[in-house]
Homo-oligomer: A and B are copies of this chain.
Amino acid sequence: MKGKLGRGVALVGAGACKFGAYPRQDSRDLFVEAFRELVASVDNKGFDPTEIKALFIGNYSSDLFEHQGHLAPILADWVGLTPRAALRVEDACASGGVALRQGVLAVASGVYDVVLVGGVERMTALPTEAVTDTLATASDVLYEFPAGFTFPGFYAAMATAYAARYRMPYEALMHVALKNHTNGAHNDKAQFGMTIREIMDRRIAKAKEKGGLVPSWEDEFAFLRDPVANPIVAWPLRLFDCSPITDGAAAVLLAAEKVAWRFTDHPLRVLGTGQASDTALYGRADLTSLRAAREAASQAYAMAGVEPSRIKLAEVHDCFTIAEVLAVEDLGFFPPGEGWRAAMTGATCRDGPIPINTSGGLKAKGHPVGASGVAQVVEVWKQMRKEAGPRQVGGEVDLALAHNVGGSGQTCVVHIFGGGDCG
């Protein structure tokens, strides 16, 4: 890897719509909402959106979710940016992060000074079975699909392999879910903006209202162990180990460092970007780590010239709780086999040494697949600028990382952002 950008690229704006279930809205509606928030996020209030010269859109499958192909020029049109170049980038659930990377490379190439990177997915209008089926097309459809694998199954296989090798108790995964819901409870854009305690209490209150049998969980752990409250989806993964089905959109504004001053006095810098691929899960020798994640992270760290230990905050791809455990190891925050302990000891909590998924992660914030990689960067933007409100981490976040995974790890893309002045 040469791995150096021809010129510096800065992050100068970011926005997202509230994630949730909007089956009667279209992708373009969600995108317009994110775009409006992006425009409002630009410090320089004289910002004219037509300065945006191209749109890079992460979207997994508007084809199957909405029976709409060729989405990118529609989105450009809907925000008044015709005839700007607009394209869709697809790498399953890493589509957003990979779109970001294409936007970064496009600015670094010298062709564009200002581009928008968007991510969008409208998923909830289909029945759950159809959503699961659509997501399963991100596997190898010739070899894995016929074996009955859908995504909870892939990550369950990883969880099983990991637990067996490293003696992880199931409680570790509960801690991931508890933490991410606790973070999400402070995120007004989250689909499930409640702690698991709050969800549990609400269930109890509802049962009381109805006058039926009132469950008496001792605490959240008892709630999460209850096979009715938290049923097995694919053993050992239960409902609260899985990210939800979500509609949402996010967008960020990139500019060449030399023009970043036009948008803000406080741009963030894209210090590192890395991307890698892997074979589908059926062909892998090891299920306890994602090779593409390690490779993408190594590229991004090398480009940024930083060590994992210097990262102050990370948004990682927790499509399932086990994925976060793997991620914190693949990114070098913890040694192999120690990721689950980090979850249990609180090392990854908002006030821990390396806060992970302060946004609530895919787990609580929601996972509109093509948007997730971009939404991660929206959180990085807010945290690094101290605009994260009630979930703001303490201290200066001068280095942050976003880690976005496609499928069962066939794609991974990692970005590292730094604060400080641009040229």
The chain B residue with its CB closest to the CB of A256 is: B2
Chain A 71-120 residues near chain B, CB threshold 8 A: 72-74, 76-77, 81-92, 98, 102, 104-106, 108-113
- Chain B minimum-CB-distance residue to A408: B70
Does A140 interact with chain B (Cβ within 8 Å)? yes
Q: How many residues of A contact B (CB 8 A)?
A: 71
Contacts of A66 in B (CB 8 A): 141
Contacts of A43 in B (CB 8 A): none
| Interface contact A141-B109, CB-CB below 8 Å | no
Check: A288 CB closer than 8 A to any chain B CB.
no
Bound CA–CA A102/B113 (angstroms): 16
A14 CB to closest chain B CB, in angstroms?
A: 22
CB distance B112 to A109 under 8 Å?
no
A292 close to B (CB within 8 Å):
yes
Q: In the complex where A109-B6, A137-B67 touch, is A89 in contact with B91 (Cβ < 8 A)?
A: no
Bitwise interface map of A from 52 to 73 toward B, beta carbon under 8 Å scored 1, else 0? 0110000011011011111011
The residues of B that contact A33 with a CB separation of less than 8 Å are none
Which residues of B lie under 8 Å from residue A69 when comparing CB positions? Answer: 60-61, 64, 90, 92, 134, 137-138
Residues B278 and A73 in contact, CB atoms below 8 Å apart: yes
Answer yes or no: A228 CB below 8 A from chain B CBs. no
**Residue among A73, A76, A102, A138 with max Cβ neighbours from chain B (10 Å):** A73
Distance in Å: Cβ of A146 to nearest Cβ of chain B: 12
Contacts of A283 in B (CB 8 A): 77
Judge whether A276 is part of the interface by a CB distance below 8 angstroms. yes
Tell me if A277 and B137 are in contact (CB < 8 A).
no
Among B81, B102, B142, B410, point to the contact of A26 (Cβ < 8 A): B142
Enumerate chain B residues within 8 angstroms of A60, measured Cβ to Cβ.
69
Contact B295 A83 (CB under 8 A): yes
For the complex with contacts A74-B410, A87-B275, 16 further pairs of A-B residues with Cβ separation under 8 Å are: A2-B113, A4-B110, A69-B92, A69-B137, A69-B138, A70-B411, A73-B279, A73-B410, A73-B411, A77-B279, A77-B410, A85-B276, A89-B89, A90-B90, A106-B109, A109-B109
